[in-house]
Amino acid sequence: MAVKKESENSFSEYPISEDIAEALKLLGYRQPTPVQQAVLPFALMGRDIVAQSQTGSGKTAAFAIPICNEVRWDEVLPQALVLEPTRELAVQVQEEIFDISRKKRLKVPVVFGGMPVEKQAVTIRQRSHIVVGTPGRVIDHMKRGNLILDQVRFLVIDEADLMLDMGFMDDVEYIVSQAGDGRKPQLMLFSATMEPHIDHLVDQYMHDPKRIILENDQKTAEGIEQSCFQTEPEEKFGALLDLMVMENPDNAIIFCDTREMVNTLFQKLRRKKIRCGMLHGGMEQKDRLYAISDFRKGIYHYLITTDVAARGIDLSEITHVINYDFPTKRENYVHRIGRTGRNGHTGKAFSFVSREELHYKQAVEAYIGTTIPWKTLPESGSLVDKQQEFQRRQKEKVVIRQAKGAVFDKDIQKLSIGGGRKSKLRAGDVVGAICAVEGVGQEDIGIIDVRDSITFVEILNHKGTLVYEELQSKPVKGKVRKVKMVQN
Ligand code: AMP
């Protein structure tokens, strides 16, 4: 494959194909992050990798770039499997891999619990290049014969320590033992910490892995200003309102210890007409995904959540983290406040601590090696001006933030074609009809998604209008069909 050489993009130092390099450029990735610099040369060489790195370090791209680069477009069965501990992480990682492989037109389905199995089955039974999923649902699809791992040449175990905490290690081991039809896939494991159980997996299944340790001794980023407020439970809600008025955060995550507290706080803030959303494990999967995507889009600026959102999830531009309930596990303090101050930005982390919670604060301080200073809130009466500013922000018109992948959309036009699986229309029929249009070839066709009675196809290189016009009178599998332009 062609090697991209471009002096302004240091990803050009690696032997990656032009379509991947171009996607990275469009995504705005100019310089590889430290974890990418450490992983890429070895992963591209085919070495197994064990990397200890923090979330938010760019580790998804560190494994996604080599995989997307090596995966062959013309194969039907999945060539790579990426295991994620939570559904939200699975979706986020799928999006990143999909973006990186956008120019190569790879299909990257995601499978996880809480959503209908059958719908996912239909998707993964079509041509799939890279499958991302949570262990339980992956095994479910393997056992149902929907997911065949014989051709898997790359396997990623992401957030391995969290997999372990959540009790998924046996499932992970089972999947690893089944992948690759006798030939062991290239294994890449990423973990925030290394524990004996993870070592066992490494010893058992990896061949001479390259070990990469990037985590420095400092557990919390320098750019995060941390402080605590001594607050008893009955004063806490008032204190939170004062804090929010005082800080008027651009984007904040407010952590509670329980689902019930998330619900309660959400209702209370809504009653005060403060725009916010909530996320916890007791919500329907659909609602959980909407909560994250609305927050990312900027539909609301405050997310109230349990520790579900503390790990891995990439919610960029978080300016404030507020521990409404102080975390009872010291590691969670580090994960929670690590949602801010990312990628060289600064951030603030505030915690409410009651007398009963003092020992948790001390435990965290011993763990992170610094004292978290106490602060006091100003009197509510002194916040009148700020109150108006805060209220104004609550009434501001929402300006939707574009998803990162939106940069690809302008070059892609999407068509819908009447007919699908029920009328035995296949992706090959669609390719055939489109390639019969003069001046259009396979390289102009993006993702094809065949549903029950409708098929969606992406047309690249600005040829969508041409294909749309031609297919108004040309047959697709022997029949002229209803073909429409679809808005992305
Ligand atoms: P991750 O640690 O994989 O969750 O990535 C954290 C964030 O960094 C994500 O928003 C990525 O899209 C972004 N990112 C990854 N690699 C780069 C890069 N080389 N340059 C800029 N941003 C990046």
Atom of ligand 1 nearest to the CA of 316: 10
265-285 average pLDDT score? 94
Closest residue to atom 6 of ligand 1, CA basis: 56
pLDDT band at 344 (very low <50, low <70, confident <90, very high): confident
Mutate which of 10, 14, 29 for ligand 1? The one with the most ligand atoms within 8 Å of its CB, which is 29
Encode pLDDT of 25-55 as tens digits: 999 898 998 899 999 999 999 999 999 887 7
3-state secondary structure labels for all residues of the chain: CCCCCCCCCHHHHCCCCHHHHHHHHHCCCCCCCHHHHHHHHHHHHCCCEEEECCCCCCHHHHHHHHHHHHCCCCCCCCCEEEECCCHHHHHHHHHHHHHHCHHHCCCCCEECCCCCHHHHHHHHHCCCCEEEECHHHHHHHHHCCCCCCCCCCEEEECCHHHHHHCCCHHHHHHHHHHCCCCCCCEEEEEECCCCHHHHHHHHHHCCCCEEEECCCCCCCCCCEEEEEEECCHHHHHHHHHHHHHHHCCCCEEEECCCHHHHHHHHHHHHHCCCCCEEECCCCCHHHHHHHHHHHHHCCCCEEEECHHHCCCCCCCCCCEEEECCCCCCHHHHHHHHCCCCCCCCCEEEEEEECHHHHHHHHHHHHHHCCCCCEECCCCHHHHHHHHHHHHHHHHCCCCCCCCCCHHHHCCCEEEEEECCHHHCCCHHHHHHHHHCCCCCCHHHEEEEEECCCEEEEEECCCCHHHHHHHCCCCCECCECCCEEEECC
| Mean pLDDT (whole number) for 424-443 | 91
Q: Which of 60, 93, 404 to mutate to test the pocket of ligand 1 (most atoms within 8 A of CB)?
A: 60
Cβ of residue 59 lying under 6 Å from some atom of ligand 1: yes
pLDDT digits (tens, 9 = 90+) for 294-338: 998 899 999 999 998 777 677 778 999 999 999 999 989 998 998
Distance 316 CA to ligand 1 centre (A): 10
Q: Is 32 near ligand 1, meaning CB less than 6 Å away? A: yes
Task: Judge whether residue 6 has pLDDT over 60.
Answer: no
Of 119-128, 199-208, 218-227, 477-486, the one with minimum mean pLDDT is 218-227
pLDDT tens column, 71-126: 999 999 999 999 999 988 999 999 999 999 999 999 999 999 988 899 899 889 88
User: Please, which pLDDT band fits residue 385 given cuts at 50, 70 and 90?
Assistant: confident
Alpha carbon of 40 to ligand 1 centroid (Å):
14
What is the pLDDT confidence band of residue 219, given thresholds at 50, 70 and 90? low
* Residue 402 pLDDT grade (very low, low, confident, very high; cuts 50, 70, 90): confident
| Average pLDDT over all residues of the chain | 90
Mutate to test the pocket of ligand 1, among 27, 93, 340 (most ligand atoms within 8 A of CB): 27
Predicted pLDDT of residue 134: 97
Percent of the chain at pLDDT above 70? 96
Q: Is the pLDDT of residue 342 over 50?
A: yes
Residue 220 has pLDDT above 70, yes or no: no
Please compute the mean of the pLDDT values over residues 268-294 and round it to a whole number.
92
Ligand 1 within 6 A of CB of 61: yes
Which residue out of 16, 24, 30, 33 has the highest number of ligand 1 atoms within 8 Å of its CB and is therefore the one to mutate?
Answer: 33
Tell me whether strands 224-230 and 347-353 are parallel, antiparallel or unpaired.
parallel
> What local confidence, expressed as pLDDT, does residue 194 receive?
79
Which of 131-135, 309-313, 364-368, 374-378 is most confident? Answer: 131-135
Q: Which comes out higher in pLDDT, residue 341 or 261?
A: 261
Which atom of ligand 1 lies at the shortest distance from residue 92's CA?
Answer: 4
> 391 CA to middle of ligand 1, Å?
34
> Does 9 have pLDDT greater than 60?
no
Q: What is the pLDDT of residue 468?
A: 95
Judged against a pLDDT cut of 70, whether residue 215 lies above it is answered with no
327 C-beta closer than 6 A to ligand 1: no
**Is residue 316 lining ligand 1, measured as CB closer than 6 Å?**
yes
Q: What is the structure's pLDDT at 8?
A: 44
Question: Which residue puts its alpha carbon closest to atom 18 of ligand 1?
Answer: 29
